[in-house]
Structure 1
Amino acid sequence: MAAYSSRVLTEEQEELRASTAGVHAARSHIHFQPLARTAQWQVTLTHTRSHSHAHFITPAHTQAHAYSCRLTHGVSSAMSKGEKGAHGSPGKISKPSEPLFPKPSHQTDLSQKLSICSKLCFAIGGAPKEVAASATAFFLQIYLLDVAQINAFQASMVLFIGKVWGAVNDPVVGFFITKSRWTKIGRLMPWMLGCTPFLVVSYVCLWFVPPFLSGRFVWYLGFYCLYQTLITCFHVPYSALTMFLSTDQKERDSATAYRMTMEVLGTLLGAAIQGQIVASAHTLKHCPTHNVSAGYLGNSSGAEVVESVVRVQAYLSQAKELYMIAAGVIGGVFLICTFVMFLGVKERDDPYAPKTEKQIPFRQAFVLVMRHGPYFTLTAAFLFITVAVQLIQSNFVLFCTYAADLKDHFQNIVLTILVSAVVSIPLWQWFLERFGKKTAAFCGITWIMPFTMMLVFIPNVVVAYVVAVSSGLSVAASLLLPWSMLPDVVDDFRLANPYCKGHEAIFYSFYVFFTKFAAGISLGVSTLCLEFAGYDTGACKQPAPVVYTLKLLMGATPVAFIIVGLLILLLYPISEDVRRRNKLCLEELRKQSSRTMVEDLNLA
């Protein structure tokens, strides 16, 4: 960047010495004309945003037409205006007007390359959220039912209200982020650092069983809602941070791949910590040969009843202690990873938006974002896919324990799924670069459907591990692809709305809002289905309707959601050709802003 700036300065100085005084004065008035102001740019935008995308201009053609992004019309207009001003005051150089772009500073560094260290630190920052999310996704439902021992209806209300509350908080947090000002450490970083200590406390309290029984529902509902609020305050700015790492799509995609790899590792770590620590709490070794029911107790001797009750109480005491240990370990991981991210990540300001343009109101920006076709399509598609993955995650431990007789293997099966996902992340990164992101989404996500159905109909250990390896491929694709495609949607929006600044948080917060809201409804309804099927809290064996319901929640229901999501994804309009074209136009914007800053600095 320094070499480039020096070269531009030298060229400009030679031009200035060779120019007349009038031209010299005129150049001080050259303003960067936004592409939206030219008829040529409007034609380019219309062509880019067409749904067919069949007339993509090849690189040779775009070079002949200067990529349809050159600002010759704006520069010529500014030159002519400047010459008129110069003739009005000969021999006097006009004072340069205020530059539309801020002068280079530590917040507006336009360098595109990210070091491996920066990518790793950025990725590590996202890991703890997934560590906690993995633990809650796999174990919170069975914890509420079998350890906290609230009934299935109350558990469904905790999961549903908590998820919906978290979803509602996403746009609220996104709104406040758009109103936040830049600080010495950026605009997004203070949010993540400030909420982390309180987030850890709320997470630990979520896994604590209070001594009172009647108010446990309120306890878990309150702390789950608080946890969802604080995790939103962390996750929304972290997700939006992707757009402020670099201006280059490849660098952002690379950082996203690092992030997804580390997040899958975080999911693996969360499942490993929680699963290995609390595994003994769900082996049902405390259960007698017969199910502990009223009939069994009535036909048993007093000694057998007392022994059974003591065994159950010892099991509950041990389970409570194990869950608290796991929560403490995960809380420590959260603190360490957030600190590493703070040390290694530098947040950069938006290099595309002109300085003189005011930030548009939140309501207007929200309407623009919601009307953006690619964003709506992408969000709707992955909403259904995310619901399917959430259903499988939340019911997997219950399915293994009560429907598939895999209670001694569930923690290792979960680890197998996540190890497979971690290993396949680089594969999917290569695949999307080679064949495109949309193709990668279809190939990756469809892979899980036949194997999930296989586990439901053939519930044995060998099939379970085969399904685990295969499902890991789809889990990796479902994690990587939406976060890799969302920056492309934001770039597409930039070209359609060149003066809209600070909208990144809206894109990310509402994407999370819709997926969380849908997941909350699905989890609440699925747990409520268990209540209607007759789920017996704390029982060692569940009735046949519960087993059948668990099979539906693990098999047919997720497959139906995935099919709907993939059908919607067919309508996603940003192909690889359009993505490359957007990159060329945004690169031209960046170069023009850089030239404008250099000229202003030179003439000042």
Structure 2
Amino acid sequence: MGGPPGPAPAAEAPAPQPEAHTVEPSSVSAKRGREDSRADRLSFCTKVCYGIGGVPNQVASSATAFYLQLFLLDVAQIPAAQVSLVLVGGKVSGAAADPVAGFFINRSRRTGSGRLMPWVLGCVPFIALAYFFLWFLPPFSSLRGLWYTAFYCLFQALATFLQVPYTALTMLLTPSARERDSATAYRMTMEMAGTLMGATVHGLIVSGAHRPHRCEEATFPRLEAVSADAIRLYSIAAAVVAVTYPVCSTLLCLGVKERPDPSDPDSGQGLSFLAGLGLTARHPPYLKLVVSFLFISAAVQVEQSYLVLFCTHASRLHDHVQGLVLTILVSAVLSTPLWECILQRFGKRTSAFGICVMVPFAILLAAVPTAPVAYVVAFVSGVSTAVSLLLPWSMLPDLVDDFQRQHQLGPGLETIFYSSYVFFTKLAGAGALGISTLSLEFAGYKAGGCQQVEEVVVTLKVLIGAVPTCMILTGLCILMVGPKVPSQDTSCQLSLQRRTSYSLA
């Protein structure tokens, strides 16, 4: 009688185990999921330090966008044809450096400070020197065009090697799509503040070099007529901007910790750059995003580059140049957080319509170049510029996640996507600025001249009004038709899959 009861417990003992086995992983997974969710959140300090890291490039880019052409034409007194070569050469150099930077960064191994951070820190001293010499007036006059071409190309290439890993760092801050969007908003806000600081500081320092009575002192200005005070002021402004590179990069390194993707192996080797570039080039949503913002970013660059020249030579707004530049940048900085809320509430594709707000006002400025109209146009342009800069960088992480979800490839995708996007946008900007500057040469622009002929005035009006309008409308039409760009929901799903697979593993 003692034998039969023995097997019964043995048969019943395993029965509860499957139930316990099914319940326990679920609870553990939920617990780990909550822990991962908390770990995915970025602190306020981390977001601010990450945003500060992008300030130097925007400070320098703002100063060059608004004042480099004026410096080359009226201070260095280089012919407009050579200025066109300087601008095109620099932009093409920066564009060519993008795939090169992506290739080497993609093949780099992870170090103690991460895989991307060493590239950012390594470029800092060299880019600061290149930027300073870009605004330095050499003692010789015959080869000044070559001097500025060389240093502008060097500056653009080094800025690319800094910007590509910095922007790609967004993907390695956290797997949470919402937190990445938040970090991008912080970055764009800080970069807008850097743009404001660059135009303000540089403009205030060099304002004494472009006093209205300068033309009265020399009816026929020659190269020797350039004052030593103007040269000194531009050198001081260049030194002030150059100092921001080591300061902000140090804060970035101290406040941000690069966290690799759970699928990222320690070796740092994943999909090869060339193979990844071929795959991304056949990804329809990415192609649509790139092509549309080729036109939109080129339009913004053209409007920024010719605003100062337009106010100086095509209207009586010379005394309002600094105020107009500040109005554009202040409105852009203040509207960036608002646009981030709109992106989250109404979607990124719908928010793109905010870019076209500047179209009628740009035409209005060319037609009625008065001070009240100019300030209204400047304010609206700043609001539109903010969304045109925020939108692509907010869409790119979602594209990377969508591409990864479809192809299930290894690490390195972020550098491929970011570097190729910047490559094409810089190439478009180079073409737009080069052609538009050559148009000034054909119109008869005189370097250092106090008054320009009527053909130059008309050309500047076209460049400030019609050209950006056509580019913006073309870019928006491309963005709104065809395959839909992946939304944040898709990105969130992939991030959840990554955290789940990692925790279960």
- Among residues 116, 119, 122, which one is paired with 1:191 in the alignment? 119
Counterpart secondary structure, 2:118 = helix
State the Cα deviation string for residues 165-210 of structure 1 (Å, max 9, x = none). Answer: 1101100010000000000000000001011001000000000000
Counterpart secondary structure, 1:427 = helix
- C-alpha distance 175-110 of structure 1, shift in aligned 2 (>3 A): farther
- Offset of 1:590 from its aligned partner? 1.8
For 1:582 and 1:199, locate their aligned partners in 2 and report how far apart those are by CA, in whole Å: 35
In the TM superposition, what are the counterparts of 1:117-128 in structure 2 within 5 Å? 117-128=45-56
In the TM superposition, what are the counterparts of 1:567-586 in structure 2 within 5 Å? 567-571=477-481, 573-574=483-484, 578-586=487-495
Contact 2:443–2:459 (CA under 8 A) maintained in structure 1: yes
- 2:322 is aligned to 411
- Offset of 1:500 from its aligned partner? 3.2
Pairing 1:250–2:178 present: yes
Q: Which amino acid aligns with 2:419?
A: S
- 1:305 is aligned to none
- 1:97 is aligned to none
- Among residues 227, 246, 249, which one is paired with 1:316 in the alignment? 227
Pairing 1:392–2:303 present: yes
- C-alpha distance 353-342 of structure 1, shift in aligned 2 (>3 A): closer
Contact 2:127–2:159 (CA under 8 A) maintained in structure 1: yes
Q: Which amino acid aligns with 2:428?
A: A
In the TM superposition, what are the counterparts of 1:222-237 in structure 2 within 5 Å? 222-237=150-165
- 2:75 is aligned to 147
- Please report the RMSD computed on the Cα atoms of aligned residues, expressed in angstroms: 2.6
Counterpart secondary structure, 1:212 = coil
Counterpart secondary structure, 1:447 = helix
- 1:490 is aligned to 400
Contact 1:353–1:498 (CA under 8 A) maintained in structure 2: no
- Among residues 425, 446, 456, which one is paired with 1:546 in the alignment? 456
- 1:463 is aligned to 373
For 1:535 and 1:523, locate their aligned partners in 2 and report how far apart those are by CA, in whole Å: 15
For 1:430 and 1:464, locate their aligned partners in 2 and report how far apart those are by CA, in whole Å: 28
Gaps of 5+ in 1: 1-14, 25-29, 31-107, 294-307, 597-604
- Among residues 497, 500, 503, which one is paired with 1:591 in the alignment? 500
- Among residues 310, 330, 343, which one is paired with 1:432 in the alignment? 343
- Offset of 1:419 from its aligned partner? 0.4
For 2:477 and 2:380, locate their aligned partners in 1 and report how far apart those are by CA, in whole Å: 22
- Offset of 1:279 from its aligned partner? 1.5
For 1:228 and 1:428, locate their aligned partners in 2 and report how far apart those are by CA, in whole Å: 29
- Offset of 1:154 from its aligned partner? 0.5
- 1:372 is aligned to 283
Q: Which amino acid aligns with 2:489?
A: R
TM-score (norm 1): 0.76
- Offset of 1:314 from its aligned partner? 6.5
Q: Which amino acid aligns with 2:305?
A: S
Counterpart secondary structure, 1:111 = helix
- Among residues 409, 428, 433, which one is paired with 1:499 in the alignment? 409
Contact 2:285–2:485 (CA under 8 A) maintained in structure 1: no
Calculate percent identity across the aligned residue pairs.
52
Contact 1:378–1:572 (CA under 8 A) maintained in structure 2: no
- 1:558 is aligned to 468
The structure that has the greater radius of gyration is 1
Larger deviation, residues 578-587 vs 212-221? 578-587
- 2:242 is aligned to 331
- Offset of 1:109 from its aligned partner? 11
- Offset of 1:501 from its aligned partner? 2.0
- Among residues 188, 208, 219, which one is paired with 2:136 in the alignment? 208
State the Cα deviation string for residues 429-472 of structure 1 (Å, max 9, x = none). Answer: 11111100111111x10111111111111111111111111111
TM-score (norm 2): 0.91
Gaps of 5+ in 2: 1-12, 26-35
Counterpart secondary structure, 1:320 = helix
For 1:502 and 1:315, locate their aligned partners in 2 and report how far apart those are by CA, in whole Å: 50
- C-alpha distance 595-150 of structure 1, shift in aligned 2 (>3 A): same
- C-alpha distance 17-258 of structure 1, shift in aligned 2 (>3 A): farther
Q: Which amino acid aligns with 2:471?
A: F
- 1:478 is aligned to 388
For 1:198 and 1:17, locate their aligned partners in 2 and report how far apart those are by CA, in whole Å: 69
Matched length: 481
- Offset of 1:18 from its aligned partner? 6.9
- Offset of 1:405 from its aligned partner? 1.2
State the Cα deviation string for residues 489-531 of structure 1 (Å, max 9, x = none). Answer: 1110110111232111010001000000010111111111100
Counterpart secondary structure, 2:227 = helix
- Offset of 1:355 from its aligned partner? 8.1
